[in-house]
Structure 1
């Protein structure tokens, strides 16, 4: 059985599906920041390592890797350290330089501009006054965001100078797991239109766009991702322009290997790239894509790591949608019961996301304060909506004010 080393794991509710997909196909090892708990069921062996110590990551990876091993991470927080270690050990992986370019939104913007791709006007601010000056030059509204975080954390729509000032403070104080915030805050023109994400497979520089998710956003002006719809996209009027932009963005950033997750806005002037992430999509998007098409991007990423071309042949043509459930106010969680919601026909998966006793603060006070996730499968978007509209009211959540 082929050997695959997974670096990092992510949280169980969001990433166990990936281990479930890989474990029957490969012998799995892992590098983890702490002793495994739920991951142990899927692993042959592991090493605990400090991911802030590059030398330790290299040593741990070397101790697990054989001549034909593959290495894979879907964990944003360890993407750069994994890429650097893989490069030192001559293991197949996205290059360290490309991983760093993807992680830094300012570098991404600079390289896209240099490549002549459809422009997003922006500036990098190191003070609130500078952010206001940039915003006034761009024209309101603007989007203010941390330079190097993830999950739309700290991203705010600002309509005037006062809101830019406040947004700068929010962006500089935002945090996501162990990721560094970055040096400076991006101020960008606001892009109109719906937001989508595109998951692609990249093999020796050839980019294949596989899944497109329509993002559901909420909690304005904070761009909280409250759900994702996966359904057919190749016949959409914007499909060719999106494909061209995503392919050219990979070239501009030098991404030649891996499964990636791009985020775009479909503006009146055409698609615009928001960011390109050098790893699998989060928020159960690859799982929903598998339910919708039968294409397993987790397995595709593993096959690339092992030097093989993945099978990207669709076996389904249907829709799958992820919807997240939030508390109605800042709350302490006492109990969550998803049994009735899980019994609704068309609900494929449910997951509790908040532990009993945890405190959830609505955006922007806390990143991703979710109670639960529901995933529906149906023939089309309307079918998914009907299933979820039936199931969500059946979620039992006992909370009290925080």
Structure 2
């Protein structure tokens, strides 16, 4: 029985679509998860043929389960993860049990932001950064960095904008470092980059870099940096493409990635491309759907083909602009009801309306990408039109909240409209 093992998944988004793609390709699918509620809601995962509850951070436990699967007669063709921070674990297990040609070394460095910065420090795409450890004098460190303010303060293993803080002055820098030190032995401090930001989806096969998609990002800043809009480019200026390819290729050459998938977030700063971060997987959320609607390429399926040692089909079936507008709330409360989904889905050009939270969920202003409440996906042959449609359709959706007490104050906003316009910091 040819089997693909997945280490962790989300209920929706790229990681779940990868499991569905594996089933569609005819493989027996196994999910190793630490989420008890997945086991409790087993009926909601018909695409997962076998689900096993396991402690994912214990490598030997994962190995034990792989060996058990083999003893059951399952031929493990590939071990994958599309979820932070398990991509490296999956690649290491795949190296040990499969013959996929995927190296775990580059993935380990990509998952750790300090290792990434150290590896790329001599490249022109690398911004100023510094590393703080508890052994350093905090006052001396802040003194050395004050001329670079404002700065971004990060955990080395932060994901989805968690533990990414903005420091505008020395006091904020000190508080941010102290806050993140509670859970980290190192703190990464980086140059605050200004300029348009792009997400670049990439596959690498036999050392050749394939840029699958270039997506403009719209970023909202309240308490955290949250991406609230993704605009897939149907047409790309050749000069822009060439410069991105040059920057991306130099980065992946430094990682010595020969086969694999990753996405990069980069900013165009005064004509120079600077790396914000890199992750060894397709972006989560709606990204696979964005690319599928825009180009007809199911990127998670082609990633699986790559990991199996096959040649992925990266030919575009069509090309149109796609915009994904993410929904958030600006108040805290228990979700009573979501209204307007049907009206939103009836807008011409809307491809998908996805609402994430269920009734009874506690919602609040987003502190990470995972706190976004859903998205509206729209397409058009005209770039501005795709964005307009998505945002207008999103205006129909409302999250009706029952206010709850938080931090000693009562939130009286019963009817919180999604994405009440925040002021973008850009």
Could you state the TM-score of these two structures normalised by the residue count of structure 2?
0.85
After superposition, give the CA deviation of every residue in 1:190-238 in whole Å (9 maximum; x if it has no partner). 1121111111111122211111111110024621111211123532533
Alignment of 1:57 onto 2:62: yes
RMSD of aligned Cα (Å): 2.4
Contact 1:291-1:377 within 8 A present in 2 as well: yes
Alignment of 1:160 onto 2:169: yes
Instruction: Point out where structure 2 has 5 or more consecutive residues left out of the alignment.
Output: 405-426
Query: Where do 4+ consecutive residues of structure 1 move more than 6 Å?
Result: none
Contact 1:144-1:156 within 8 A present in 2 as well: yes
In structure 2, do the counterparts of structure 1 residues 6 and 207 end up closer, same or farther at CA, with 3 Å as the change threshold?
Answer: same
Distance 2:9 2:366 in 1: 25
Contact 1:259-1:301 within 8 A present in 2 as well: yes
Partner of 1:136: 146
Partner of 1:263: 265
Alignment of 1:81 onto 2:77: no
Partner of 1:177: none
Contact 2:14-2:287 within 8 A present in 1 as well: no
Contact 1:4-1:26 within 8 A present in 2 as well: no
Q: Secondary structure at the match of 2:337?
A: strand
Instruction: Point out where structure 1 has 5 or more consecutive residues left out of the alignment.
Output: 174-180
Partner of 2:401: 399
Partner of 2:283: 281
CA-CA distance at 1:85 after TM superposition: 1.5
Contact 2:3-2:77 within 8 A present in 1 as well: yes
Partner of 2:47: 42
Partner of 2:359: 356
Contact 2:357-2:373 within 8 A present in 1 as well: yes
How many residues align structurally?
A: 392
Could you state the TM-score of these two structures normalised by the residue count of structure 1?
0.89
CA-CA distance at 1:102 after TM superposition: 0.6
CA-CA distance at 1:67 after TM superposition: 5.1
Partner of 2:23: 23
CA-CA distance at 1:395 after TM superposition: 0.7
Alignment of 1:305 onto 2:288: no
Contact 2:201-2:212 within 8 A present in 1 as well: yes
Contact 1:125-1:134 within 8 A present in 2 as well: no
In structure 2, do the counterparts of structure 1 residues 53 and 119 end up closer, same or farther at CA, with 3 Å as the change threshold?
Answer: closer
Contact 1:224-1:368 within 8 A present in 2 as well: no
Most deviating of 308-317 and 324-333: 324-333
Partner of 1:110: 118
Q: Secondary structure at the match of 1:106?
A: helix
Contact 1:58-1:89 within 8 A present in 2 as well: no
Distance 2:13 2:204 in 1: 27
Distance 1:204 1:226 in 2: 35
Q: Secondary structure at the match of 1:313?
A: coil
In structure 2, do the counterparts of structure 1 residues 90 and 22 end up closer, same or farther at CA, with 3 Å as the change threshold?
Answer: closer
Partner of 2:419: none
Distance 1:93 1:369 in 2: 35
After superposition, give the CA deviation of every residue in 1:39-96 in whole Å (9 maximum; x if it has no partner). 6311333433221111121222234355571222211121122122122224426322
Partner of 2:212: 210
Distance 2:43 2:254 in 1: 39
Distance 1:162 1:367 in 2: 26
In structure 2, do the counterparts of structure 1 residues 16 and 347 end up closer, same or farther at CA, with 3 Å as the change threshold?
Answer: farther
